[in-house]
Amino acid sequence: MISKHPIIQEFPEYLEKIKQLNHDNEEFQVLLDSYHSLDSEIYKIETGEIPATDDTLTHLRKDRVFLKDEIFNFLKN
């Protein structure tokens, strides 16, 4: 099933911390914006809205996982 992966859905237990960090921490804001942009791009590729090779899609998915890990590191500290 093709769907977007909003960070709040990925980490619902950290909703308040996500809001607080997004408001107070510029580095977190950049990570979150990058994650959302990348997630949107992946979704557009998966739905056929924009063309891309399988290798490109795989690379973008790996980048999304990396950003998700970085965001999680912020949230657990």
Q: How do residues 18-39 score in pLDDT, each as one tens digit?
A: 999 999 999 999 999 999 999 9
Residue 75 has pLDDT above 90, yes or no: yes
The predicted pLDDT at position 23 comes to: 97
Q: What is the pLDDT of residues 36-74, one digit of tens each?
A: 999 999 999 999 999 999 999 999 999 999 999 999 999
pLDDT surpassing 90 at residue 1: no
Stated as kind and residue range, the H or E segment containing 68 is helix 54-76
Whose CA is closest to 68, among 20, 28, 41?
28
Closest by CA position to 67, among listed 49, 42, 48: 42
